[in-house]
Structure 1
Amino acid sequence: MAHTQDDQDKVWELAKDIGFCMLTTQSGNDLRARPMSAQGERDEHAFYFLTDVNSHKDEEIAQHPAVCLAFANPKGQKYVSISGTAEIQNDREKIKELFAFPAKAWWDSADDPSIRILKVTPSFAEYWDSPGTVISYIKMAAAAASSTKPDVGENASVKL
């Protein structure tokens, strides 16, 4: 398992560049994923999301705080999966700090009392960073023709 600073940098960089992820929580015996806008704060070792007190995420996280954040840029062939521990917070100053244009689709202002912060503290990640779809396909076709394995980019498992 890789633990290099470069691999950790790559995880944070990919997550920031992609921006949106599928947040997976556990609901009873089922896993449930939904798209969320992630705000990574490396210096705080956390990913933040704005959520609503009336959503089911709060209940799911209270029961099962282990979550997965799956970031994907299929056109660029860049992916990162981050495992971590989630918690719900009601830090009104942090809510104001995180409140941005996309949040206005759900709330009128950062002062809405139903807004909560979902904080994820990452513990492990894996990323895949390929040179792009066309190049990856060419390398796969060449590998298939020569009975070799294609080199389609970087892949690393990282302890965070």
Structure 2
Amino acid sequence: MTEYDDAARIWDIIDKIGFCMLTTQSGRDLRARPMAAYAERVENAIYFLTDAASHKDEEIARWPNVCLTFADTKGQKYVSVSGMAEMMIDRERVEELWGTPAKAWWESPEDPSIRVLKVTPSFAEYWDSPGTVMSYIKMAAAALSSSKPNMGDNAKVEL
């Protein structure tokens, strides 16, 4: 598979899963929280809506390197994205991203506390297995034959 195909596969998995764990640095500690992700592959960006009162603003201002992890455990598809984050006040983007996940946190897209978090990926890695049942079968067969199982595709890609 080419790097272009691998990059397309990463964006496809991100689009399909839609939610991720956003990991930021908080001093010497790392902190992860679930976020609704809006991928814009043409822009090479992943956007999030967040609140001005959250600690993410301060953490990202000091340590803008973040990691996003997407997991589809039933389909055995995973993506880890490393990149640079920036907080923005962008009312047009808020309107574009407004949807059901946002309605759980804010009454309307006009809420002045809504911020846009933009992550520009630098690289990503994906794992794409044939599914849970097939993975268990391959692991069992490998254990019986003392070989290593082929658990699907894996690639690291610069984005």
TM-score tier after normalising by the smaller chain length:
over 0.9
Aligned residue number for residue 139 of structure 1:
138
**Is 2:4 aligned against 1:5?**
yes
Alignment of 1:67-106 (within 5 A): 67-106=66-105
Displacement of 1:101 in angstroms is: 1.6
TM-score normalised by structure 2 residue count: 0.98
State the distance in 1 between where 2:69 and 2:87 align: 19
Alignment of 1:6-155 (within 5 A): 6-155=5-154
Question: Structure 1: where are the runs of 5+ without partners?
Answer: none
List per-residue Cα deviations over 1:57-115 (Å, max 9, x = no partner): 00000000000000001111100000000000001111111111210111010000000
Q: Which runs of 4+ in 1 moved over 6 A?
A: none
Residue 137 of structure 1: SS of its match in structure 2?
helix
Equivalent residue letter for 2:35? M
State the distance in 1 between where 2:139 and 2:79 align: 21
Aligned residue pairs: how many? Answer: 159
State the distance in 1 between where 2:78 and 2:136 align: 17
RMSD: 1.0
State the distance in 1 between where 2:9 and 2:2 align: 11
Percentage of identical aligned residues:
68
Contact kept in structure 2, 1:136 and 1:152, CA below 8 Å: yes
Contact kept in structure 2, 1:3 and 1:158, CA below 8 Å: no
